[in-house]
């Protein structure tokens, strides 16, 4: 399932889809299938245009982010937090032995803020090596270096180092919560990733309080054209489409409580 999901994404992400449709169009043209060539090439161009020059991807991303709004204020007390991996540049960190973040760094910045405000709380970091090769350290390993730099003792950390997917995040976390006597933790992950994450945790009977962070949209996106930031549009479109792939795939596999949790 893990390898299959990786391969599906290689071919199914918007820019790849546009490329393969164009290639199929040229092949159809080579076999003198004029109408098919025109259709395939046109579809490829349409996918590419929508990805680069419209707000479609940002609009989809915004919908995911709005499913679980962030609470207006911090909790009165806090026993534990679960932060899902995906925020560290694991290949770079493995090679350079540093602490390099990617665009999802807010997951750990928010966790650090809460950890400093609630010094009695425990932090469960769920994140192994999600690469196909399996040769890199995961977010849990990098976290063991990151948090102590800011006064958060390593003894407060519960490190889950083997998960490669969101489903494995939840299943492995369930055992660690029971072992450490923790319950009703905050679940900290990116806003767009929260619906799928909550759906999986609910399916497994794990009570969590959604605490989204790492928002990529301002919440006021409307469908339309946008020629100002094609690279960012492509990135956000890919993020939104990938998350919807996950939502649908996990629902069909019976791994989440509902198709679009809220």
Q: Spell out a b/e string for 83-111, using b for 16 or more CB atoms within 10 Å of the CB, else e.
A: bbbbbbbbeebbeeeeeebeebebbbebb
Confidence check: pLDDT of 3 > 70: no
Ordered by start, the domain boundaries in the chain are 2-65+227-252, 80-213
Mean pLDDT of 69-88: 95
For residue 9, the model assigns a pLDDT of 72
Closest CA to 146 of 89, 213, 100: 100
CATH placement of domain 80-213: 3.40.50.620
Q: What percent of the chain has pLDDT over 70?
A: 96
Confidence check: pLDDT of 189 > 90: yes
Q: How far is the C-alpha of 54 from the C-alpha of 119, rounded, in Å?
A: 45
């Amino acid at each position: 399932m893990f390898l299959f999901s990786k391969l599906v994404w290689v071919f199914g992400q918007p820019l790849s889809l546009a490329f393969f449709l164009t290639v199929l169009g040229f092949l159809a043209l080579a076999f003198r299938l004029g109408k098919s060539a025109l259709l395939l090439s046109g579809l490829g161009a349409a996918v590419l245009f929508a990805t680069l020059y419209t707000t479609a991807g940002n609009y989809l991303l915004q919908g995911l982010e709005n499913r679980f709004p962030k609470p207006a204020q911090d909790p009165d007390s806090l026993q534990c937090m679960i932060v899902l991996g995906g925020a560290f540049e694991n290949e770079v960190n493995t090679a350079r032995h540093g602490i390099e973040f990617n665009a999802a760094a807010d997951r750990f910045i928010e966790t650090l803020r809460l950890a400093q405000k609630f010094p009695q709380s425990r932090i469960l970091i769920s994140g192994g090596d999600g690469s196909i090769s399996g040769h890199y350290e995961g977010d849990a390993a990098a976290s063991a270096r990151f948090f102590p730099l800011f006064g958060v003792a390593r003894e407060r950390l519960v490190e889950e180092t083997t998960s490669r997917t969101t489903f494995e995040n939840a299943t492995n976390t369930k055992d660690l919560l029971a072992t450490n006597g923790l319950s009703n933790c905050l679940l900290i992950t990116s806003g767009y990733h929260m619906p799928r994450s909550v759906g999986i945790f609910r399916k497994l009977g794990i009570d969590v309080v959604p605490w989204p962070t790492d928002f990529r949209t301002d919440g006021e996106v409307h469908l339309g054209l946008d020629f100002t930031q094609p690279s960012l549009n492509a990135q956000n479109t890919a993020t939104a489409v990938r998350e919807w792939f996950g939502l649908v795939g996990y629902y069909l596999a019976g791994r989440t409580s509902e198709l679009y949790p809220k």
